[in-house]
Structure 1
Amino acid sequence: MSSKHIELRAELPQENLDLLDEVREKAQLRTLVYKQKLANFYNKRVRPRTFKVGDPVLRKASLTGFETCFGKLALNWEGLYTVAEVPHPGAYILQDAEGKRVHRILNVNNLKKFYP
């Protein structure tokens, strides 16, 4: 091999190292664009639910454990509750018809609006 050919081989790794930062930046941009597209795809199908104090709601029955007694014939939703307090968005404190508060804070995923 000629010395000229060996010099070219020695320069190639240095050029690759110079381009490495550019390749990483392109990969990060592609990842960011992919994540944004995925989030937009998911979020356009999400229906946001919010309740105000005093709204009538139903609670998921699976939270109480009654489905173990009745199996597949158990009710999916229970009670008629009203929203007593909203500590922060997405979390609700309920009270029953007698005004007695439910002992736990419930997530919006476990509630459904009641339409009389």
Structure 2
Amino acid sequence: MPKTWKLQHIPASELHVIIKPWPFRGWALDLIGQIHLPTSKGHKFILVGVDYFSKWVEAIPLREAAKKLAPNSQSSFWAYQNSPRGSTRTTPYKLVYGHDAVLPIDINLQSIRVARQDEIPVVDYWDSLHDELNELDDERLRALERVIRQKEIMSKSYNRRVKAKTFAVGDLVWKTILPIERKSKTYGKWSPTWEGPYVVDKVYPGNAYKIIEIGSRRRISSINGKYLKVYRPDIHEINIPHA
């Protein structure tokens, strides 16, 4: 039976941060869309990938969410790749290639770097590139230390707000109706926010659970504990013995 109760926005378990120690060891992916109206080429979705370490970004326009990927345009991210990120205090471009990019404004204004590059002897130029590559590991290690410090601060701040909420096999629970912002056309703002009861069938690491709905036997293979709450029967569901 659905219920209308306030949702709990306090975290139910501690934050487990992800730290990748080197570029391109792990990506965070997000699918944006569906976009209205589509582009002139019929693209309705955008697949965005961010490298966990360097914060390098790639984005691919898609006509369909499950179709073959279309070519990528790097020019859209030139400004982002060459802007320092707060967590690393350096640019994604430098963490990937070992030096700052030559920007269009450097070429237009003939900066010292551009104006004098032809005066450098070939041997010195290659020696300079070799030195940059040797220093790249140090730059990445410094960035890693900054990322770790930032993650530690973020975790401490987040975990102070945690109100632990765990369940065991056999527990009866209410489940949040997902997606959270979905409203019933009939009830509008009075739409139910919880449904159930469910019984916890299996407990997974990371405060995740497998639950089964009482009556319908509908199964949900995995759901985070933050979307569950202890089931307590209403007064009309309690059998009160007659005197």
TM over 0.5: yes
Deviation at 1:87, TM superposition (A): 5.2
Deviation at 1:67, TM superposition (A): 2.5
Distance 2:220 2:148 in 1: 38
1:40 pairs, out of 130, 150, 156, with 156
TM-score, normalised by the number of residues in structure 2: 0.33
2:176 is matched with which residue?
60
**Contact 1:93–1:106 at 8 Å: present in 2 too?**
yes
User: C-alpha deviations, 1:42-100, integer Å up to 9, x for none?
Assistant: 1221223221122121122346x7734321111211232222x115231222231x4x4
Percent identity over the alignment is 29
What letter matches 2:213 in structure 1? Q
Name whichever structure is richer in helix by fraction.
1
How many residue pairs align between the two structures? 99
1:76 is matched with which residue?
193
Q: Structure 1 stretches of 5 or more lacking a match?
A: 1-13
Deviation at 1:110, TM superposition (A): 2.4
1:51 is matched with which residue?
167
Point out the more displaced range, 21-30 or 100-109.
21-30
Say which one has the larger Rg.
Answer: 1
**Contact 1:91–1:105 at 8 Å: present in 2 too?**
yes
CA separation of 1:103/1:76 partners in 2, compared to 1, >3 Å: closer, same or farther?
Answer: same
- Alignment root-mean-square deviation, CA: 3.2
What letter matches 2:159 in structure 1? N
Q: Structure 2 stretches of 5 or more lacking a match?
A: 1-127, 234-243
CA separation of 1:79/1:22 partners in 2, compared to 1, >3 Å: closer, same or farther?
Answer: closer
Moved beyond 3 Å, runs of 4+? 20-28
